[in-house]
Structure 1
Amino acid sequence: MREGVTVTGVVLKSSPSGETDRRLVVLTRERGKITVFARGARRPGSPFMAACRPFVFASFTLYEGREAYGLKGAEVAEYFDRLGQDMEASCYGSYFLEIADYYTRENVRDEPMMVLVYQSLKALLKPVFPRELVRRIFELKAMVNGGEYTERPPRQTGDSAAYAWEYVVYSPPEKLYTFTLKEDAFREFASCVEMERRRFMDKNFKSLEILESLKQMTAGSAPAKDHL
């Protein structure tokens, strides 16, 4: 092992490794997506346990190995515990993590994607932003960040949807969640994002499948609500 390094990032994946360890995939500001092994993280009382969950944003102190990193310590900035208390929000958040994993590469810096994930998880927890709007903004900006997008909507729309599209394309992640759309404009915007998603994202996302199933179940059991 070499000297310790400190990085800031979000846990995209956490899975068991051996009898007591965890294997993490962390998207970091300094080194892009990396693999981190947390020794003993599954033991009761482990100081690593809380930091080894998806959604966690933290400053990680690591030992650098040949093919992966070892976790030495972590200072958690945000757990996003409220996502775990809301099944729908958790599905949206997990979907965002899957997309971030899809678009990022090992050891290739991608700070904009890390910031996008952070800002989008925060937006999910703000009642002022409809979650489907957060989803569509995230999808479009993730495609933009990955270099797979069109500067304008793929079909003709009204002015509001077209402006929203251009705003998402050209704004930094920190400024994305500053607007809402009326129902008609949102439908146009969402339809255009879906067209591009199907065109550019060559993957079936498990979290999205669960989310769509959950929404269908909710729609079938709850009375219709008027949109604001």
Structure 2
Amino acid sequence: MRDLIQTTGMVLYAAPVGEFDKRLILLTGDRGKITAFARGAKRTGSLLRAASRPFAFGIFTLSETRDAYNLYGAEIENYFEGLEQDVECACYASYFAEFAEYFGREGLEAREMLRLLYQSFRALLKPALPNKLVQRIFELKIMVINGEYTEDPPLRAGDSARYAWQYVIYAPIEKLYTFLLKEDTFAQFAANVERNKRAYVDKSFHSLEILQTIT
């Protein structure tokens, strides 16, 4: 058996392969985005079954092959089960995961993106925070992490919207989801995030298209 490694990460995507296996895309802190195969994960009683669910976050034990990894075990710290119980929250989480997959690269550490995903999923589970605000904060911050943003809002914005923009850019990830915006301020903030996204992100997200049909 090849040497085993352990890495902290999250399952971004899971798809069946054959009758019993799953193919996973993981975002890991030290190895970036990787593909892993969970052999037998679809079998009843498999120890890999729960660890192969989308959004599972924890420490994964893997072996490296030439083209991918094999999953041998995991210590899952958070399954974010509450997201699966709410269709809208699940769609937002899928969109965030797809966005992280877009920016993720194998071999490039992704600790900040991983922390952002974790805190954003927690924010989705807080009733006091509007999901649309969580979405726009997440979008701006993940673009900031990857250097795809402007220091100032690209469109005209009032003082409150400009402050929100600067706050998201510079605030620690753990402090991101600590504010609310009035309706008009949010509209300005959201419009600027959308403009920035169109300027720097050349991808249409399938999960966002689904989300837009239900919100």
Q: Which category describes the TM-score, using the shorter chain as reference length?
A: over 0.9
Specify every segment of 5 or more residues in structure 2 that has no aligned partner in the other structure, as ranges.
Answer: none
Deviation of residue 83 (structure 1)?
Answer: 0.7
> Which residue identity does 2:114 align to in structure 1?
M
Q: Percent identity?
A: 57
| Superposition TM-score, scaled by structure 2 size | 0.97
Q: Work out whether residues 58 and 78 of structure 2, in 8 Å CA contact, stay in contact via their aligned partners in 1.
A: yes
Deviation of residue 192 (structure 1)?
Answer: 0.7
Q: Work out whether residues 82 and 125 of structure 2, in 8 Å CA contact, stay in contact via their aligned partners in 1.
A: yes
Deviation of residue 159 (structure 1)?
Answer: 1.1
Aligned to 1:148: 148
Aligned to 1:224: none
Specify every segment of 5 or more residues in structure 1 that has no aligned partner in the other structure, as ranges.
Answer: 216-228
Q: Does 1:127 align with 2:127?
A: yes
Q: Does 1:46 align with 2:46?
A: yes
Q: Work out whether residues 30 and 108 of structure 2, in 8 Å CA contact, stay in contact via their aligned partners in 1.
A: no
Q: Which runs of 4+ in 1 moved over 4 A?
A: none
Aligned to 1:223: none
Query: Aligned to 2:195, what secondary structure does the other structure show?
Result: helix
Query: Aligned to 2:152, what secondary structure does the other structure show?
Result: coil
Q: Distance in 2 between matches of 1:156 and 1:19?
A: 54
Deviation of residue 197 (structure 1)?
Answer: 1.3
Aligned to 1:157: 157
Mapping for residues 65-144 of structure 1, pairs under 5 Å: 65-144=65-144
Deviation per residue, 1:188-217 (Å, 9 max, x gap): 1011111111222111111111111112xx
Deviation per residue, 1:57-76 (Å, 9 max, x gap): 01111112222111111111
Query: Aligned to 1:34, what secondary structure does the other structure show?
Result: strand
Q: Work out whether residues 11 and 55 of structure 2, in 8 Å CA contact, stay in contact via their aligned partners in 1.
A: yes
Aligned to 2:183: 183
Deviation of residue 187 (structure 1)?
Answer: 0.8
Aligned to 2:3: 3
Q: Distance in 1 between matches of 2:142 and 2:51?
A: 25
Query: Aligned to 1:96, what secondary structure does the other structure show?
Result: helix
Q: Distance in 1 between matches of 2:47 and 2:100?
A: 27
| Superposition TM-score, scaled by structure 1 size | 0.92
Q: Distance in 2 between matches of 1:78 and 1:187?
A: 33
Aligned to 1:195: 195
Deviation of residue 172 (structure 1)?
Answer: 2.3
Deviation per residue, 1:135-190 (Å, 9 max, x gap): 00000011111211001111221111100000111122222111111111111101
